[in-house]
Amino acid sequence: MLFSKLFIPTLREAPAEAEAISHILMLRAGYVRQLASGLYIYLPLAWRVMNRIQKIIREEMDAIGAQEISMPGLHPADIWQKTGRWSDIGDEMFRLKDRGGRDMCLGMTHEEIITWLASMEIRSYRQLPQMWYQMQTKFRDEARPKSGVLRTREFIMKDSYSFDRDEEGLAASYQKHADAYHKIYERCGLRFYQVQSDPGMMGGATAHEFMAPSPAGEDTMVLCSSCGYSANTELALSVSPQQKLSVGATLCGCPGQAHSTSVGDFEDIPTPNRRTVAEVSSFLKADPSCFIKTLLLIGKEGPFLALVRGDQELHEKKLAKVAGNFRPAQKDEVKDVLGVAAGFIGPHNSKLRKIADFSLKEGIFISGANKEGFHTKGIRPDIHFEAEWHDIHVAQTGDACAKCGAEITIEKAIEIGNIFQLGTKYSLPLKAVYLDEEGRENPVIMGSYGIGPARIAAAAIEQNNDKDGIIWPQSIAPFDVEIIPLDMGDKEIEEIAAAIYSNLSGEGLEVLMDDREERPGIKFKDADLIGIPYQIIIGKKGLKEGIVELKARRTKQAERVAPSDVVKRIKELHSVL
């Protein structure tokens, strides 16, 4: 393909609205343009990348026996009403009415539609299992679209659905998808992890996400390099390190400290105007891990206390699983319920229900005295307060793995795929049932599996770039090779460029030739920006010595190769990958 005939509007400077690296580079290198918040136009280069990614996905889906179909993006409301999601989902669903006044919505996902199809067509166990997938546009009225193509309001998704007669079948379909996803991401050249995730509103018990580590990611994952435990922080368990004793730690007096018995005594100490853990901690010269952070929350059955250690953050989702839905108490509610201002509340001498993090089970602590201007030291669990013990903190760096005890690492990541075991959440309300050998009616057991091709592209850029631009993994680059003839007026250069171009194309490679009448500097800069893995540079200097240069975009290393050997050499490099 000729550069001069392709629309590649590169930008010398990054548009002000872009922040994420992938966003900046996609704009600068002429891959995308923004129509409105969360809505992007994919220009020729980006669309080629998307097509390559989708091709890889299709090949791997087909390989596990999934069948491609296509469902509408516009849905009637009544199916969504049957599963309850019409009302469960809020503003994130685009809703509209057709001319007849019927409620409709733009599909955010297709569980309802595919289950409707299964309910109409599947009768017998003989028809199971089935795996159906599609590449379809999804619409979600995101509260905050961000980071370019990473979080948009309209996006293409490969979504597949499995239908099995029982849980064993589901487990097999689920595993097939997990395996296929591994192959897809490997082929796309991404670094990634499979982590446990929260099924959330999707329903079902088991779910995993595929995560591409990147600082631009919105998710945080917990990884244990020792036992392999990996989970999204939205549910990851961890064990906080032991209480830290420093100079001032004598005040909380952990067991084992020489002077702990005397100074660890239960006693109120004045802490005027110090409310937060940070304030009291520096005032008393005691490590934050010596404190109990006491939070007043209002649950369905009234107010209760949540206790985490001073160096921890409360994990609201974990707590909600134990305590049901709750909300934080307002300032005046704290006064009303406890008779003291927030900042001075503690778990001892309080009759409220208490849910405490495991880390507070051992040690001696400082907490609010339930008395304005005072904190209490020497608080011992089970002696000075009783609580229900759970893991209700957010896992953080320095914590130990809940499975094996090794130190965990915490990493930001882009969610590039997810898989859910749905069970009967959709088949029951939509009556997708089959008859077994005995003629009994059973609900179909379902799974749901998604991949966002645009996120794969963005993650690939986030993981592969340098100061000059994108460095595409070979498999998903818009082209395999870019030919850069430095002087389009020169006959010899043009002829050799044309010959190499046709030979490479003849080998089935996708080739971009920068045939523009531009200065060398501009061609080099654009080539690096666009990020095609190999550049063949043809200039007078080299030809005088009988060579052209073959440069790898990633390393910037140039090999001097005879024009007649270039095609062979490129093929060698390709076969390695």
Partner RNA sequence: CGGGGCGUAGCGCAGCCCGGUAGCGCGCCUGCUUUGGGAGCAGGAUGCCGGAGGUUCGAAUCCUCUCGCCCCGACCA
Tell me which residues touch RNA (CB under 7 A).
Answer: 10-17, 19-20, 23, 28, 34, 36-38, 85, 89-90, 92-93, 108-109, 111, 140, 142-147, 151, 200-202, 218, 316, 468, 486-487, 489, 519-522, 524-529, 537-542, 549, 551, 556, 558
In the structure encoding, which two tokens stand for residue 139, read together? Answer: 């619409």
C-beta closer to RNA: residue 5 or 123:
5
**At closest approach, how far in Å is the CB of 458 from RNA?**
12
**At closest approach, how far in Å is the CB of 346 from RNA?**
25
Cross-strand pairs, 526:
none
**At closest approach, how far in Å is the CB of 32 from RNA?**
12
How open is the CA angle 237-200-402, to the nearest 5 degrees?
Answer: 10
Q: How many CB atoms lie within 10 A of CB 253?
A: 26
Token pair 């969360």 in the structure block, residue? 38
C-beta closer to RNA: residue 158 or 377:
158
> Per-residue DSSP letters for 472-507?
--GGG-S-SEEEEES-TT-HHHHHHHHHHHHHHHHT
C-beta closer to RNA: residue 30 or 381:
30
The rounded distance, in Å, linking the Cα atoms of 267 and 263 is: 9
C-beta closer to RNA: residue 385 or 426:
426
C-beta closer to RNA: residue 184 or 207:
207
The rounded distance, in Å, linking the Cα atoms of 309 and 379 is: 13
Bond into 129 cis (ω within 30): yes
Type and span of the H or E element at 261: helix 260-263
Measure Cα distances from 490 to 191, 496, 543 in Å.
Answer: 43, 10, 11
3-class DSSP assignment, residue 263 = helix
Cross-strand pairs, 538:
485
- Confirm if 451 and 459 have CB atoms less than 8 A apart: no
- Confirm if 529 and 469 have CB atoms less than 8 A apart: yes
**At closest approach, how far in Å is the CB of 309 from RNA?**
19
**At closest approach, how far in Å is the CB of 383 from RNA?**
35
C-beta closer to RNA: residue 395 or 401:
395
**At closest approach, how far in Å is the CB of 136 from RNA?**
14
**At closest approach, how far in Å is the CB of 486 from RNA?**
5
**At closest approach, how far in Å is the CB of 331 from RNA?**
15
Type and span of the H or E element at 529: helix 520-530
C-beta closer to RNA: residue 367 or 418:
418
In the structure encoding, which two tokens stand for residue 454, read together? Answer: 């645009």
Q: From the CA atom positions of the chain, what is the Rg in Å? A: 30
Q: Where are the beta strands (DSSP E) in 73-184?
A: 74-76, 95-97, 103-106, 130-139, 154-164
**At closest approach, how far in Å is the CB of 11 from RNA?**
5
